[in-house]
Amino acid sequence: MSILAVPLEASAETCQPANSMANMPIFIAVALIGAAVGGLLARQRKEELKRLNSQLRQINTALRRQAQIESFAPGLTYAPVGRATETEVIVDPRKQQLTTNLRNGKAYMRNEDLDMAAREFRTALELAESIGDRFEEKKAARGLGASLQRLGKYREAMNCYYKVLQLSKETGEDSGCTEAYGAIADCYTELGDLERAAKLYDKYISRLQPGGD
């Protein structure tokens, strides 16, 4: 009997939980609760951002309609004050070709032929760069950005819109910047970057207000 008792006692001792093992479930529970709370907060934050973004997009659309802004629309001439319009005589054949490409790009945009529009605007952009005409370069960048955005090429479109902002800074000619901020915000929204989109919508809205910069 004594031979059997020892193993049973030893077995009983081994079944006694150590203090660290007894505490493990508590730590696990705390960790699980923390993870659950963290996940809940993350989901709530994501939903809040989505709701905010939806509101901002509605405001964006309403303000564009109210201000009668044709964001990169074919109807705009994009001609800065004091500069020659498309109807004036153009001597440089590259300049004439550039004007033709811009006009064709707008026509293709009206007809929803976005691939051809992008091709025309891209050609116009290259010509403007070779001529060194920053104003025409900005027109082409705006048109190309709009074409690419409608094609769902949002990152490429944003590059064009940022180019618009850069050229505006270089030339001191501010036309198109407000619309560029709104368009970039739309692109970030489509890419799921709601935080950046919200910041740019704020910038866009502030520029529509009197005294906005």
Minimum mean pLDDT among 38-42, 121-125, 166-170, 186-190: which range?
38-42
Average pLDDT over every residue of 102-127: 94
Q: At what angle do helices 154-171 and 177-190 cross, to 10 degrees?
A: 160
**pLDDT tens digits, one per residue of 193-207:** 999 999 999 888 888
**pLDDT tens digits, one per residue of 89-106:** 556 788 889 999 999 999
Torsion of CA 66, 71, 74, 80, to 10 degrees: 90
Tell me the chain's radius of gyration from C-alpha atoms: 30
CATH number for the domain spanning 168: value is 1.25.40.10
Is residue 130 in a domain? yes
Is residue 50 in a domain? no
Is residue 52 in a domain? no
Contact yes or no for 180/64 (Cβ under 8 A): no
List CB contacts of 148: < 8 A, sequence separation 6 or more: 118, 154, 156, 157, 160
Residue 172 has pLDDT above 90, yes or no: no
Residue 10 has pLDDT above 90, yes or no: no
**pLDDT tens digits, one per residue of 47-74:** 766 666 666 666 666 555 544 434 444 4
Question: How many structural domains is the chain composed of?
Answer: 1
Residue 116 has pLDDT above 60, yes or no: yes
Is residue 2 in a domain? no
Q: pTM of the entire structure?
A: 0.62
Average pLDDT, the chain: 74
Residue 46 has pLDDT above 50, yes or no: yes
- What integer pLDDT is reported at residue 158 of this predicted model? 96
Q: How far is CA 128 from CA 33, 99, 121, 150, 200, in A?
A: 60, 10, 10, 23, 28
Is residue 114 in a domain? yes
- What integer pLDDT is reported at residue 101 of this predicted model? 94
Identify which has the larger pLDDT, 55 or 153.
Answer: 153
Is residue 51 in a domain? no
Contact yes or no for 139/124 (Cβ under 8 A): yes
Is residue 196 in a domain? yes
Domain containing residue 105: 66-208
Distance CA 7, CA 53 (A): 69
Is residue 55 in a domain? no
- What integer pLDDT is reported at residue 82 of this predicted model? 43
